[in-house]
Every structure is written in C-alpha cells, then in structure tokens.
Amino acid sequence: DSGVTQTPKHLITATGQRVTLRCSPRSGDLSVYWYQQSLDQGLQFLIQYYNGEERAKGNILERFSAQQFPDLHSELNLSSLELGDSALYFCASSAPLSGGAPDTQYFGPGTRLTVL
Amino acid sequence: AQKVTQAQTEISVVEKEDVTLDCVYETRDTTYYLFWYKQPPSGELVFLIRRNSFDEQNEISGRYSWNFQKSTSSFNFTITASQVVDSAVYFCALSVPWDSGSARQLTFGSGTQLTVLP
C-alpha cells in the first residue's frame, strides 16, 4: 500500500458526460500528479500541483481540469467525455514536508474509466 | 526533453531463469533521477527503485539488481531466479528536479511485459 488513495476504483459512464476523480496523497506529501494510461499512448503525464498551485501541465486536454485543495487532496475533472478517454487514471504524490526523497512519486491504485 | 526507451516489449522466461530488462534514457540535464516501477496484473504501479544521476553504484535488493551506466545512458534491471509472481509489466522512468521542493513529472518508457512460466 503506497498510502495514496483514489476513488472511485471503477467508473462507467456515457459519452458527453462529466466525471470527477479524487485523489488523497500520502500524509505530508505536497505534490500531486495525474497520469493517464491507455493502450495506445502508454503512461502520459497530465498535470502537477504543488501545495495547492499548478506546477506543470503535460498532455492534458482542454476538456480536462484539476485542482488541489487546502487539505492537499486533488480532483481531476473530465468533461464532454469521448470513447477515447477510456483509460486508467493514476494519481501520484511526492515531496514530503520533512524527510524522505522529494523526487520519488508513489502511485495510487488508479481509477479505471470506461466511456460507453 | 526527456525520453526513455524500453526496446523489449515482451519477455518470457521459465521460472528460476535470470532475466534482464533494458532501459535507455535521454536527457540534457546533468541532474536527473531514474526509476523502475512494477505494474502487476492487478494494475497498480509499485515503486521499486530510485537512482540519482550522481550515484552510479549498482544496487542489489534480494533477487533484484540494477546496473546504472551513465556512459551508455542505461539503467538495466535484472531479476535473478525469477518467480511466477514476478510476472508484470515493468516501467523505467526518468524525472528531473525543479530547483527546489518537488520533482517534475515522470517520463515513462513503454514498458516490458515479463511473463514467468512455471
């Protein structure tokens, strides 16, 4: 168990819908990252937050957005869903407040999104 | 930009055989971190090892060992006496640090599917 939690574990929805994926980082970690894993694209970085602020953006579509709240949990919002958005979405955390290696990312179990 | 290449898409071995998973990386940064993650059939990504660019010492952890060679930009992973439970997809990844506080995103290789047959 990495200490990173993600909900829900599975999500099945229809095209055009909007969903929210939730992530709670390891206790004390300040950074949250979102990744998408699909068969054709592999593991792709979407976005990073550090202590509530957006830090970096990767291959994130305009239909997708995220935020990190004061308690450091994060949500990834996916809207106007398309069939191609079906994937495994991972959240990772790193950068503990004290001690540890700030550069090691620990991953949650993922949310498997199926768009029908 | 960073790039990680795992040329072996699939490897199949018989239990107790040794197996080496190859990883080649590209980066212009002088400070960087290399990682290996394991993704078993259950789907989660499990952290195995982190190595920074200034530490070229090889590492051994039980049946696992890692060979980091900056001269060839490689960070290979060897499993000795493989077991069926080692069957998984293994990802090599690279990140470079921000100036302070946190790491930048991981750039992953495409992964190597390892199947260990009984």
- Classified as helix, coil or strand, B66 is strand
Give the residue from chain B lying closest to A40, CA to CA.
B110
The Cα–Cα gap between A50 and A45 comes to 15
- Mean pLDDT of all residues in A77-102: 86
Tens-digit pLDDT profile for residues B53-103: 888 888 888 999 999 999 999 999 999 999 999 999 999 999 987 765 567
Distant-in-sequence, close-in-space partners of B77: CB < 8 Å, separation ≥ 6: B20, B21, B23, B36, B48, B49, B64, B65, B66, B67, B90, B92
CB pairs under 8 A between A and B: 75
- Tokens in use for A27? 């206790």
The answer to whether A104 contacts B104, with C-beta atoms less than 8 Å apart, is no
SS3 per residue for A58-85: CCCCCCEEEEECCCCCEEEEECCCCHHH
Q: Does A91 touch chain B (CB under 8 A)?
A: no
The answer to whether B102 contacts A95, with C-beta atoms less than 8 Å apart, is yes
**What residues of chain A lie within 8 A of the CB of B103, using their CB?**
31, 94-95, 102-105
Give the residue from chain B lying closest to A104, CA to CA.
B50
**DSSP character for B63?**
T
Q: Does B106 touch chain A (CB under 8 A)?
A: yes
> What H or E segment, with its residue span, contains residue B60?
strand B59-61
Tens-digit pLDDT profile for residues A27-74: 988 899 999 999 888 999 999 998 899 999 998 999 999 999 999 999
Give just the sign of the alpha carbon dihedral A97, A102, A108, A110.
positive
Tens-digit pLDDT profile for residues B46-65: 999 988 888 888 888 899 99
Q: Does B55 touch chain A (CB under 8 A)?
A: no
The answer to whether A107 contacts B103, with C-beta atoms less than 8 Å apart, is no
The answer to whether A94 contacts B102, with C-beta atoms less than 8 Å apart, is yes
- Tokens in use for A112? 């498997």
Nearest to B109 by CA among A36, A42, A34, A93: A42
Task: Tell me the DSSP string of chain A.
Answer: --S-EEE-SEEEE-TT--EEEEEEPPTTEEEEEEEEEETTTEEEEEEEEETTEEEEE-S--TTEEEEE-TTS-EEEEE-S--GGG-EEEEEEEEEESSSS-TT--EE---EEEEE-
- Distance from the Cα of A106 to chain B's closest Cα (Å) equals 7
In terms of phi and psi (left: phi > 0; alpha: psi -120 to 50; beta: otherwise), the region of B71 is: alpha
Q: Looking at residue A59, what is its pLDDT? A: 84
- Classified as helix, coil or strand, B86 is helix
**What residues of chain A lie within 8 A of the CB of B43, using their CB?**
88, 109-110, 112
Residue scoring higher pLDDT (A101 or B5): B5
Average pLDDT, chain B: 92
- With a pLDDT cut of 70, the percent of chain A lying above it is 94
Q: Looking at residue A9, what is its pLDDT? A: 96
Q: Looking at residue B117, what is its pLDDT? A: 97
Give the residue from chain A lying closest to B38, CA to CA.
A107
The answer to whether B105 contacts A48, with C-beta atoms less than 8 Å apart, is yes
Q: Looking at residue A102, what is its pLDDT? A: 64
Residue type, A41: Q
